[in-house]
Amino acid sequence: MNEDTHFHTDPSLDLVLIRQTNVSPELVWKAWTTPDLLMQWFCPKPWKVSECKIDLRPGGRFWTVMESPEGEQFPGDACYLEVVENRRLVWTSALLPGYRPKLPVGAESGMDMFSFTAIIEFQPNGSGTTYTATVVHADEAARKRHEGMGFESGWGTAFDQLVELMSEGGTKSAGNSS
């Protein structure tokens, strides 16, 4: 984590993924902040992101729709809390855009889900990046549930897809991402 933050991870509540890549922080940032690019890597294949909207500012919207291979859709609406170009993105599924509180995730559909806050950091490392994704949960049960859903493999695979895409300069079109 950056020394200028006051956040400290708690292993009973938080999940952390750290990766090194030869891709520059600017390209990793671009992959996280450009909807057409994010749609190509954000969830492990054969899942896909069928919709993405990004209003890249504190209070702005981070909206994705993940789609299973069977066509089942899982919308995710989040609010950006912090945006530091090429260095840090913080967003939460606990708030709607404009910092509006929202019902507990899944409450409207009866799904048993959880809210979280994601802290995504891009630190220069030579010509590449040290990438840190920290996912903060409200309680240990939510952290365990997220871990059990495959956090490490899912977020790790998505990052590998990001690296592959951006190593090619982000030149794939959404239609060629399968």
pLDDT for res 6: 66
What is the rounded distance in angstroms from the CA atom of residue 33 to the CA atom of residue 123? 16
What is the rounded distance in angstroms from the CA atom of residue 28 to the CA atom of residue 146? 24
What is the rounded distance in angstroms from the CA atom of residue 142 to the CA atom of residue 10? 13
Cα angle value 64/9/16 (rounded, 5°): 50
Full-model pTM: 0.87
The CA-to-CA distance between both ends of the chain, in Å, stands at 34
pLDDT for res 178: 35
pLDDT for res 168: 84
What is the rounded distance in angstroms from the CA atom of residue 81 to the CA atom of residue 56? 10
Which three-class secondary structure state does DSSP give residue 97? helix
pLDDT for res 60: 98
* Two tokens, residue 112: 């048993």
Give the architecture-level CATH label for domain 18-169: 2-Layer Sandwich (3.30)
* Two tokens, residue 64: 């994705």
Domain ranges of the chain: 18-169
pLDDT in tens, the chain (178 residues): 444 556 899 999 999 999 999 999 999 999 999 999 999 999 999 999 999 999 999 999 999 999 999 999 999 999 999 999 999 999 999 999 999 998 765 545 444 578 999 999 999 999 999 999 999 999 999 999 999 989 999 999 999 999 999 998 775 544 433 3
